[in-house]
Amino acid sequence: MALTGELFIASKRVRRDGPGFQAVAASTGTPLEPSFSMAVREDVEAAAAAAEAAFPVYANLPREKRAAFLEAIADEIDALGETLTERAMQESGLPHARLTGERGRTSGQLRLFARELRLGEYLRARIDHAIPDRQPAPKPDLRLRMIPLGPVVVFGASNFPLAFSVAGGDTASALAAGCPVIVKGHSAHPGTSELVAGAIARAVEKTGMPAGVFSLINGAGNEVGSALVSDPRVKAVGFTGSRGGGTALMKLAASRPVPIPVYAEMSSINPVFLLPHALEARAEALGKAYIASLTMGAGQFCTNPGLVLALESPALDRFLAAATEAVSGVAAQTMLTPGILKAYENGVARWASAPGLTRVAQGQEGAASCGRAALFTMTGADFIADPSHAEEVFGAASLLVRCASLDELLAVVSLLEGQLTATLHLDDVDTETAARLLPILERLAGRILANGWPTGVEVTDAQVHGGPFPSTADGRSTSVGTLAIDRFLRPVAYQDLPAALLPAELRDGDAGVPRRIDGKPTL
């Protein structure tokens, strides 16, 4: 399937003849064909106008039609097969197996949202019948359901060119909610983006969706993204990327005449707690598993275990010895972009020159495009003196904090910012310590794991991939799993409306969706 380098405005290919840009092969830096069009102001305008025009039609389609559209996108993505995987490999430097899995995850989550639409539970339909003779005043008839917000802008993420990009979780959940989507493509993988955008455009055509339901816009710098977030027709933003980028967009969205929500997933160091008995029982195995999680995908996961906390003990020395040995054997890995590699190397250099931090191990050297894994340690007391080292170093670098006591460990935890995950390694005998930590971790993170590693996010109903700031902009939501749909919905109550004006799900009789009627759950 030949790439054309065009944008997609209202599901149609559009070429811009001005200066373009090329992707580069992540592993060699060699430019890849073709040249990609860069959007101009009119493209932002056209995409926003088309999304606004599509919104009332798309939002009010029967749920079954939107479900069929999501499934058609999934089928088109699956049909791209190796063409998609190979281009994503070239552009991202990520390995074949990872991208094959990510392709399946991408189509899988679209199908999961189709199921969510059919279930209808997300509508939170509620009916409180009127009581006209209630004293001292009659009770009105009230009915509630969730409705979509309006056009959504999604920023494709560099580190998941499929599952968090053009047809990734943000797009799938926004489309499921009934919101048209304008994607700001990531310049690191424009070919991958074009292939997926083509799949969405074909699904739009095949299922008869309004064309403005989808656009893909590329652009250099921040101009196009800022223009999209500032457009009054845009009603919400999904973003995965840097803390600087995410907070800039939050500020921009908050300073609009009509502010809008930004669901930004930004930085997280995902603390891992090695509780004493678990550490004693399996120090070496934990050390090895830690490094496997840390170095997966060159450490370019926001769920990467960037901080490990444990109490000083001989078992901790054994853990560290095993982790050190494992890191030393890790081959350098291609990083996503030269910018991300540079940011990683700067982060590692900052740690290496910081007083109190010791680099205990490095991975093997590699090509110029590759990042080397790195393992650092420091004491709890030094961390408390300078907690700035808790800032995310995006890549395969991690910090082990050796604490003198549980109180010191708790003092370290109290200095941490919001996290996507917190992990406990524990045995039965550690339960009391874990129980002390648990309420603290609930306040700290969106997902709490026991005896596992935080990388790899299962896409399910009960998933939370979110957490307090700065792991995300709004810890009340998740960007993975079916609850992600909530970000793009708002409740509307209908008081005393005649049945003919009510949406089907709120009329009396069997509506085929779970509802709460006069305080009682149905279905």
Ligand X SMILES: NC(=O)C1=CN([C@@H]2O[C@H](COP(=O)(O)OP(=O)(O)OC[C@H]3O[C@@H](n4cnc5c(N)ncnc54)[C@H](O)[C@@H]3O)[C@@H](O)[C@H]2O)C=CC1
Output the 3-class SS for 424-465. EECCHHHHHHHHHHHHHHHHHEEEEEECCCCCCCCCCCCCCC
Query: Which partner from the list ligand AKG, ligand X, none does 478 bind, CB cut-off 5 to 8 Å by kind?
Result: none
DSSP state of 233: T
Report in angstroms the alpha-carbon separations of 408 from 358, 389, 413: 19, 16, 9
Q: Which is nearer to ligand AKG, 160 or 351 (CB)?
A: 160
Q: Does 453 bind ligand AKG (CB under 6 A)?
A: no
For 224-365, where are the E strands, in sequence order? 236-240, 262-265, 272-274, 307-311, 333-334, 358-362
Q: Which is nearer to ligand X, 186 or 515 (CB)?
A: 186
Among the residue ranges 193-201, 394-402, 455-463, 498-506, the one whose residues contact ligand AKG (CB under 6 A): 455-463
Report in angstroms the alpha-carbon separations of 432 from 286, 358, 427, 442, 489: 21, 32, 10, 16, 40
Strand partners, 148: 489
The one among 157, 237, 485, 511 contacting ligand AKG by CB under 6 A: 157
Query: Which amino acid would we find at residue 301?
Result: F
CB of 153 to ligand AKG, least distance (A): 18
Kind of pairing between the strands at 489-495 and 445-450:
unpaired
Query: Which amino acid would we find at residue 519?
Result: G
Query: What's the token pair of residue 180?
Result: 């048209």
CB of 480 to ligand X, least distance (A): 12
Query: Which partner from the list ligand X, ligand AKG, none does 100 bind, CB cut-off 5 to 8 Å by kind?
Result: none
Report in angstroms the alpha-carbon separations of 246 from 112, 264, 288: 27, 6, 33
Q: How many residues in total does the chain contain?
A: 523
Q: Does 160 bind ligand AKG (CB under 6 A)?
A: yes
Nearest CA among 227, 214, 211, 205 for reference residue 166: 214
Strand partners, 422: 448
Query: Which partner from the list ligand X, ligand AKG, none does 222 bind, CB cut-off 5 to 8 Å by kind?
Result: ligand X
Write down the catalytic residue from 71, 116, 302, 403: 302
Write down the catalytic residue from 52, 91, 116, 265: 265
CB of 160 to ligand AKG, least distance (A): 6
DSSP state of 502: S
The one among 107, 159, 242, 398 contacting ligand AKG by CB under 6 A: 159
Query: Which partner from the list ligand AKG, ligand X, none does 457 bind, CB cut-off 5 to 8 Å by kind?
Result: ligand AKG
Q: Which is nearer to ligand AKG, 69 or 164 (CB)?
A: 164
Concerning whether 91 is annotated as a catalytic residue, the answer is no
Chain centroid to CA 175 = 16
From the CB of residue 482, how many other CB atoms can be counted at a distance below 10 Å?
24
CB of 295 to ligand X, least distance (A): 16
Query: Which partner from the list ligand X, ligand AKG, none does 225 bind, CB cut-off 5 to 8 Å by kind?
Result: ligand X
The one among 211, 457, 464, 511 contacting ligand AKG by CB under 6 A: 457
Contact residues for ligand X, defined by CB under 6 A? 155, 157-159, 184, 186, 222, 225-226, 240-242, 245, 248-249, 265-267, 302, 340, 343, 394
Q: Which is nearer to ligand AKG, 164 or 273 (CB)?
A: 164
What does R_g of the chain's alpha carbons equal in angstroms? 25
Concerning whether 302 is annotated as a catalytic residue, the answer is yes
Query: Which partner from the list ligand X, ligand AKG, none does 308 bind, CB cut-off 5 to 8 Å by kind?
Result: none
H or E stretch covering 152: strand 152-155
List Cβ neighbours of 139 (8 Å cut-off, separation of 6 or more): 128, 130, 131, 132
Chain centroid to CA 395 = 17
Query: Which partner from the list ligand X, ligand AKG, none does 164 bind, CB cut-off 5 to 8 Å by kind?
Result: ligand AKG
Q: Which is nearer to ligand X, 87 or 282 (CB)?
A: 87
The one among 456, 460, 504, 512 contacting ligand AKG by CB under 6 A: 456
The one among 85, 455, 463, 477 contacting ligand AKG by CB under 6 A: 455
Query: Which amino acid would we find at residue 508?
Result: D
Q: Which is nearer to ligand AKG, 161 or 178 (CB)?
A: 161
Q: Which of residues 229-248 bind ligand AKG (CB under 6 A)?
A: 240
Residues annotated as catalytic (active site), given as ranges: 265, 302
The binding site for ligand AKG (CB under 6 A) comprises 157, 159-160, 164, 240, 301-303, 455-457, 465
